[in-house]
Amino acid sequence: MRAELKNKIKNLYDADYNLWVLETVKQLENRDLDSLDWDNLIEEVLDLSKRDKRKIESLLMRLIEHLLILQYWEGENERNRGHWQREITNFRKQIKRLLADSPSLKSHLEMKLDLCYNDGRELASQHSQLPLNTFPEEAIATLEKILDDHWFANT
């Protein structure tokens, strides 16, 4: 009987993810550890960390993109400066909220800074239609500086 229930729950993961989550929560609340779909639960918990890492990397990439656009897209600077500064502030706030909830993500960002910078650089080039070599190959600042609320590159 117990094995049949476990198989039903494992199948539920593939058939109806939302219902699987609700059932898993019930089992956890009831401390029914024997009925848990441990393999999928472990996978989901690990994926929570991966999602936060992907999210914070994406935010950093977009932050860098906007810092580069603000600094190097001279033809549009006057007209769009306020918009880009608002976007920069927005991305910084989102990153800081994630870091407040999970301070260990800061070391992840430090490890991924070069990758995020290169991706942000490519996006800035595509957005501005400026040649990629308009933007420095090396990061324009440290992570600390990039996250500094009062720093907007050379504006």
Kindly provide the b/e burial profile for residues 95-119, where b requires at least 16 CB atoms within 10 angstroms of the residue's own CB: beebbeeeeebbebbeebbeebbbb
| Among 139, 141, 104, 134, CA closest to 119 | 139
Question: 0.85 exceeded by the pTM?
Answer: no
Q: What is the pLDDT of residues 69-85, one digit of tens each?
A: 999 998 888 888 999 99
Q: What is the mean pLDDT of residues 37-59?
A: 93
Percent of the chain with pLDDT over 90: 76
Confidence of residue 3 (pLDDT cuts 50, 70, 90): low
C-alpha distances (whole Å) from 23 to each of 19, 20, 30, 56, 130 are: 6, 5, 11, 30, 52
Confidence of residue 131 (pLDDT cuts 50, 70, 90): very high
